[in-house]
């Protein structure tokens, strides 16, 4: 069955295709000629994921899912959260976002105690099948924020995120398989895949 994943990120597409297995053909909006930016104006991860999935469902009528992810840092009151992609302002890249995060954290927490630097990635996936009803799945990856960047793998905030699952390494220092096994998005997409297997005979 063809299923659209609302992303232009090839790494995310590959990961979802692996998790969902051969019964599903995971395709990008671009491969169906949908190349405009899909609006993401909600005030929660759930609203944003649903907005993206709905947008595609209304245009294609095909089964589709969308994810939204935020990095929540306890000492910053849960920031950057839904603003993770544009924490340093519109048009800024991951390096600027990480600079801002380390700077903000150094103001409120002068020491390097991981307990005071607790954080988590949270992903919400919204899935819409033929009946148009939304279903939600969540995945969380717990960890802490490092005091400086380390590693060259992954993307986004990976160089400053120390997952509890791999003590002493940032997410940019583990392999892609190791990351997928414990990542917020991996967990959310596996939860969706398990639900599809358990509750849908015909996807
Ligand atoms: P697409 O809509 O093209 O999929 P996005 O950048 O808007 O990409 P997300 O909602 O997945 O996507 O993520 C929001 C931001 O959170 C993203 O720009 C990164 O800075 C960060 N982020 C998400 N997943 C991450 C991960 O696995 N590792 C590190 N940072 C991540």
Sign of the C-alpha dihedral, residues 169, 172, 175, 179?
positive
2-201 belongs to CATH 3.90.950.10: yes
Could you give the count of Cα atoms lying within 13 Å of 64 in the half-sphere of its Cβ?
Answer: 24
Candidates 152, 141, 136; CA nearest to 183 is 141
Ligand 1 touching residue 7 (CB < 6 A)? yes
Q: Which pLDDT band, with edges at 50, 70 and 90, does 46 fall under?
A: very high
CA of 143 to the centre of ligand 1 (A): 17
Q: Where are the domains of the chain?
A: 2-201
Residue 129 pLDDT > 60, yes or no? yes
Predicted pLDDT of residue 182 = 96
- At residue 92, the pLDDT reads 82
Note if 68 is an active site residue. Answer: yes
Looking at per-residue pLDDT, the higher value among 90 and 51 belongs to 51
Name the nearest CA neighbour of 19 among 135, 187, 159: 187
Which atom of ligand 1 lies closest to the CA of 161? 29
Does residue 134 carry a pLDDT above 80? yes
Q: What is the 3-state secondary structure (H, E, C) of the chain?
A: CEEEECCCCHHHHHHHHHHHCCCCEEECCHHHCCCCCCCCCCCCHHHHHHHHHHHHHHHHCCCEEEEEEEEEEHHHCCCEECCHHHCCCCCCCHHHHHHHHHHHHHHHCCCCCHHHHEEEEEEEEEEECCCCCEEEEEEEEEEEECCCCCCCCCCCCHHHEEECCCCCCCHHHCCHHHHHHHCHHHHHHHHHHHHHHHHCCCC
Averaged pLDDT, 81-86: 96
The reported pTM is 0.94
Residues found in the chain: 203
What pLDDT, on a 0 to 100 scale, did the predictor assign at position 83? 96
Q: Is the pLDDT of residue 110 over 80?
A: no
Q: Report the distance separating Cα 169 and Cα 40, nearest Å.
A: 32
Backbone angles phi, psi at 190, to 5 degrees: -65, -40
End-to-end CA distance of the chain: 7
pLDDT value, residue 200: 67
Distance 122 CA to ligand 1 centre (A): 10
Which among 68, 131, 158, 194 is annotated as catalytic?
A: 68
Would you call 39 exposed, middle or buried from its count of C-beta atoms within 10 A (0-12, 13-18, 19+)? exposed
From 9, 41, 51, 69, mutation site for ligand 1 pocket: most ligand atoms within 8 A of C-beta = 69
For the residues 185-199, what does the mean pLDDT come to?
Answer: 93
Residue 203 has pLDDT above 50, yes or no: no
Residue located nearest, by CA, to atom 2 of ligand 1: 7
Query: Which tens digits make up the pLDDT trace of 3-33?
Result: 999 999 988 998 899 889 999 999 999 999 9
Q: Specify the residue with its C-alpha closest to ligand 1, atom 25.
A: 156
Calculate how far, in angstroms, residue 85's C-alpha sits from the geometric centre of ligand 1.
Answer: 6
Quick one: what percent of the chain has pLDDT higher than 70? 98
């Amino acid at each position: 069955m063809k299923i659209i994943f609302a992303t232009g990120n090839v790494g995310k597409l590959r990961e979802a295709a692996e998790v969902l297995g051969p019964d599903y053909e995971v395709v990008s909006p671009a491969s169906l000629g949908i190349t405009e930016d899909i609006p993401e104006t909600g005030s929660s991860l759930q609203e944003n994921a649903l907005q993206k999935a709905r947008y595609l469902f209304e245009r294609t009528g095909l089964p589709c899912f969308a994810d939204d992810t935020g990095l929540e840092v306890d000492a910053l009151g849960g920031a950057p959260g839904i603003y993770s992609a544009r924490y340093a302002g519109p048009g800024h890249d991951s390096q600027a976002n990480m600079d801002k995060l380390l700077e903000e954290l150094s103001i409120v927490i002068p020491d390097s105690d991981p307990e005071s630097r607790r954080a988590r990635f949270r992903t919400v996936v919204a899935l819409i099948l033929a009946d148009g009803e939304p279903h939600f799945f969540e995945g969380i990856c717990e960890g802490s924020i490092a005091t400086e960047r380390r590693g060259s793998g992954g993307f986004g905030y990976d160089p400053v995120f120390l997952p509890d699952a791999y003590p002493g390494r940032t997410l940019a220092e583990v392999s892609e398989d190791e990351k997928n096994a414990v990542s917020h998005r991996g967990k959310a997409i596996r939860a969706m895949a398990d639900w599809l297997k358990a509750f849908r005979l015909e996807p």
